[in-house]
Structure 1
Amino acid sequence: MLQTPTPAEPRDETRALRADIYRLLGRLLREPPDGKMLAWLASLEPEGGGELARAWQALARAAGEASPAPLARAHFRHLVGVIEGDITPYASWYRNGALMDDALVALRRDLRCLGIARADHSRDPEDHLAAELEVMALLVEAGPQDAASFYRHHLAPWADACLADLAAVDTPFYARLGALGRAFLAEESRRLAPTDGETPVRFVTPPAP
C-alpha cells in the first residue's frame, strides 16, 4: 500500500512490536484472513493482564472457531463498499460525513510532507483505516516524533468510533477485531500523549501473506 521513508534511528523491540500490531490490524481490516493466518491467530497466548491481553485472547478464541470462506463473506458485508458495507472505514466519512472530504485532503498533504506515497496498484483512498494504521507502522519504526503527531491528527479523532462500530457487528471474529483495535489504540493514546512506555503483551511476527 505505502512506500516508506528511511528510518531515522535503529529499531528497538518495543517499536518493532507496535509496528507489527499496527500492520496486523491494517491487514485484517483490508482483507479477510486465510487459513494460515487464522491458525496463527488461534495459537497466540498473550502474556499479562488488562484489557489489551483479554482482547488478544478473545480474538484468538474467535479465530479458532472461524473458517476462511465465511469470514470472506463477512468481511465484504461489514467493511467493503459504501453501499454494501455495514461500516465505511474512512476518516472523511467519520469526521466530515462524506467521502473524499477535508480529512483526506489534510492527510494527503501530511503524507507528502512525510515522504510517504500510495502504491500505484492501490485502489483505496489514503484515509482508509487500514492505510492509516499502515502509515503508523512506518512512522513508529522511523521514530517517535512523527508517529505521535500523525496519530493525534489523523487517527485519534475517529479511529475509536470506527472500531467501536466494528466491535458491534454480528460476526464474532470481526467484533473481537474491533475490540482489539480499540484496546490497542487506547494504549497508544496513553503512550503517545506524551510519554513512551512498555507494551503489556508479548507478540511475534505474523505469517507472510
Structure 2
Amino acid sequence: MKFPRLAISIVCVAALALTACSGGGAARKRDADGRVLPTLAEQDPSGTLYAKSVSMAANGECDDETMNVLTCFAYRGHGYEGAQTALGQCEIVLGNPSEGVEWIRRAANSGWPEAQKTLAQLYVRGEAIDRDAVEGAKWAKLYTRNPSLLSLGVQPDTSIVEEFRGSLTSEQIALADRRAQSWVPKYWTPTTEIDRNVKRSCEVEGRRPPPSRKDLPLATMPNPY
C-alpha cells in the first residue's frame, strides 16, 4: 500500500512562502538579498489560493502545485476539511485510491458535508473502495441531515439518495439508520511521527526532495465506529 502524498515537497519558495501555513513561530525566511519573504497569509490574505486549489481539485486538475498547497492546508487539521476533501479527490484522480479515501474519510468524520456526500457516492458506486451500500447509505443520511447545511438554509443534494433507492432491504435501511444515529464527529490531527514531520515541513522548511513513498507506512486514523 502506498503512502499518501503527505511528504510531497511543499511550496515554500517566494511565490507561496508556506513558511506560514502556521502563521508564525519560526524564524522568517529571507531571500538572497536578505528581504523577509511574505507568509502565506500575507501573500494571500483573502484566501484565494486556498479556494483556487480546492476548485481545481474538484475539476480534476491536480498538478504538483495544487497538491502541494492542498497538502499544507490539509495538515492544519480541523477547520481545513475542505482541503482534506480536495486532496482526497486528487489522490483518487492520480491513481492513489487508498490515500484518497483516507483523506475524504477524515473530513467526513469531522462532519464536512461535501466529504460525507463524496464518501457515500464512493461506497454506493464501488469507486476507489469496495462497494458497501449500507455504509454508503449511512453517509448519505449524515450528509442530508448535516446541521451545518441546515443551519445555513442550504438544501442538500438529494440525488445521492436516489442512488440508493430500491437497492436496500428494510433491514439494511434500519442498520444504516442505527449507524448514522450512533455517529459522532472525530477531528483528525497528525499523530504519527511521519505526519508530524510533514506538518512541520509545511511550517518552516523549504522545498526538499520527498522521501521514497514505498518506504513509508500508511498513516492510520481512529475507527469511527
TM-score where L is the length of structure 1? 0.31
Q: Which has the higher helix share?
A: 1
TM-score where L is the length of structure 2? 0.30
Name the structure, 1 or 2, with higher relative contact order (CA <8 Å, separation 6+): 1
